[in-house]
Structure 1
């Protein structure tokens, strides 16, 4: 819980009473490796903040293959939809790649925080903007790079993930086969 509070305080000020309210509304949960945080086609009813672990966002293509869109690592909000009031039914899966710890809020509790804490919406918007910019930066270069460049870029941008995420997931994220990734890794050693 303290990790979440410390993170939020980087984007705005909160007094002790507001922090206590946030702590009272939140629940700390553990997600074991391979468990879903959410599943495609099932309405999302919570908002989370990953304090420990890695979650993979993926979908199935028309051939039934899993395609990794991106990874969520520590200190990232996991929001659903554009607004807290929106009923959000994702087309993707979020699955724990490692054992994870999250701070979770029901959508109603999240809305209550927004309605009660002056400046909460501004703080959250700053966090969302930061995460969105990171996600775009991480993905945009993949389009124009060849396999080796993609992998080297991945190592640079996700230094903590290389040894925590299975190669098959990394290959899928990079848009290359696992055998190609194995060759690339062998050639750069």
Structure 2
């Protein structure tokens, strides 16, 4: 639980009463490699702090091709925020790529706490803004940069990910084929 509180305090220094309230919301859990935090079509009810491991958020197009929308590398928050706030079935599945340790919390309880606690409300806003900026950055990179530059950025943002997950997941994240990724990696080692 200390890692959860440290993560939040790095975003916004929380008072002791708020920390105590937050400690009552989060419970420890694990995700085994391949398990879903939330699958497509499910109704989201929880968010989680990812204490260790990697999770991918992905979707499958009408032809059955997978696209990795984003990777979550510990420490971070996971959960289908769009499905939570829209109260609609989830569209983007979140699957553990490695064994993961998480701390999960009911989103409804966090919303209730936000209504009466300005620190929690502010923390939620800052986290949501951070994810908005991250998503916009990725959209711009996908539209304007070539695959080799996107690969370079991936290596900078997730320095150990290639040691932890299969290459086809990285290719799906970059929007290229595994063969194209292999060529890029080969060219970079020359």
TM-score of the superposed pair, with normalisation by structure 2 = 0.89
Paired residues, number: 189
Q: Offset at 1:68? A: 1.1
Segment drifting more, 169-178 vs 3-12: 3-12
Q: Which residue in the other structure is 2:182 paired with? A: 182
Q: Which residue in the other structure is 2:62 paired with? A: 62
CA-based RMSD: 1.9
Q: Which residue in the other structure is 2:108 paired with? A: 108
Q: Which residue in the other structure is 2:169 paired with? A: 169
After superposition, the C-alpha distances for 1:23-61 in whole angstroms (9 at most, x for unaligned) are: 122111110100000011111111112111111111111
Structure 1 pair 137–85 and aligned structure 2 pair: CA distance change class (3 A): closer
Q: 1:12 & 1:186 partners in 2: Cα distance? A: 42
Q: 1:83 & 1:126 partners in 2: Cα distance? A: 19
Q: Offset at 1:82? A: 5.2
Residue 41 of structure 2 contacts residue 89 of structure 2 at CA under 8 Å; is this kept in 1? yes
SS of the equivalent of 1:64 reads coil
Q: 2:146 & 2:16 partners in 1: Cα distance? A: 50
Question: Which blocks of at least 5 consecutive residues in structure 2 are unaligned?
Answer: none
Structure with more of its chain in helix, by fraction = 2
Q: Which residue in the other structure is 2:22 paired with? A: 22
After TM superposition, list the pairs within 5 Å mapping 1:43-58 onto structure 2. Answer: 43-58=43-58
Question: Which blocks of at least 5 consecutive residues in structure 1 are unaligned?
Answer: none
Is 1:36 the equivalent of 2:36? Answer: yes
Residue 52 of structure 1 contacts residue 74 of structure 1 at CA under 8 Å; is this kept in 2? yes
Q: 2:124 & 2:107 partners in 1: Cα distance? A: 14
Residue 59 of structure 1 contacts residue 67 of structure 1 at CA under 8 Å; is this kept in 2? yes
